[in-house]
Amino acid sequence: MIIRESNMDFKFKKENIFHIEKSGVYQQVGKNVKICEFIVKLKGKILFIEAKTTFSNPQKGTFDKDIQDIYQKILNSLLLYSGILLGRPYKSLEKLPENLNSMKDKKIGLILIIKNHKKEWLISIDEKLNLLFYSIKKVFLIDFFKVLNEEIAEKYGLIHSDQKQ
């Protein structure tokens, strides 16, 4: 299954991906609730993925707004996914792929991918988001939060590129 987000292609087996942004539960909750793109099981880990085409400069006024936006999207995604796993009575009953129907005994990662972002620009975003997610990482036993550009994401097997095949 290929998902195109922020001008990047993500390719995963259908049984390993939950396109939470397109789910019935998310449609029910409402568009005013920000959420990440998708959740995927990859190499035994459950990854919450948010993709962006751009991100503001740390010296500009919109940087903190962009950071808060990412924080809200990923936090809401964690909560909504947890609600589905707990069987909350959403009107739209969501059938999760079999490989994503439990978080038990699985490592959890949060990943922001910013297309065409220079490697050195990722550091300040990564530091700020890891600081913001400190307590969430403790409560949910989240193993990592990483900020990647397209090039690094491809090395991790997150981005699908036809040119390299």
Residue 127 phi/psi, 5° resolution?
Answer: -60, -45
C-alpha–C-alpha distance, residues 33 and 72, integer Å: 9
Q: Give residue limits of the domains in the chain.
A: 2-164
pLDDT at position 165? 36
pLDDT at position 33? 95
C-alpha–C-alpha distance, residues 39 and 136, integer Å: 17
In this structure, the number of other CB atoms found within 10 A of the CB of residue 75 comes to 19
pLDDT at position 61? 75
- pLDDT tens-digit map of 75-102: 999 999 999 999 999 888 778 999 999 9
Strand 17-18: give its sheet, edge to edge. 17-18, 38-42, 45-52, 107-114, 144-149
Cβ proximity of 116 and 150 under 8 Å:
yes
Which pLDDT tens digits describe the chain residue by residue (165 residues)? 999 999 999 999 999 999 999 999 999 998 789 999 999 999 999 999 999 999 998 887 799 999 999 999 999 999 999 999 999 998 887 789 999 999 998 999 999 999 989 898 899 999 999 999 999 999 999 999 999 999 999 999 999 876 443
pLDDT at position 164? 43
Q: Give domain 2-164's CATH architecture.
A: 3-Layer(aba) Sandwich (3.40)
C-alpha–C-alpha distance, residues 55 and 67, integer Å: 9
C-alpha–C-alpha distance, residues 147 and 110, integer Å: 9
pLDDT at position 162? 64
Element (DSSP H or E) covering residue 11 = strand 8-11
User: Quick one: how many helices (H) and strands (E) in the chain?
Assistant: 5, 7
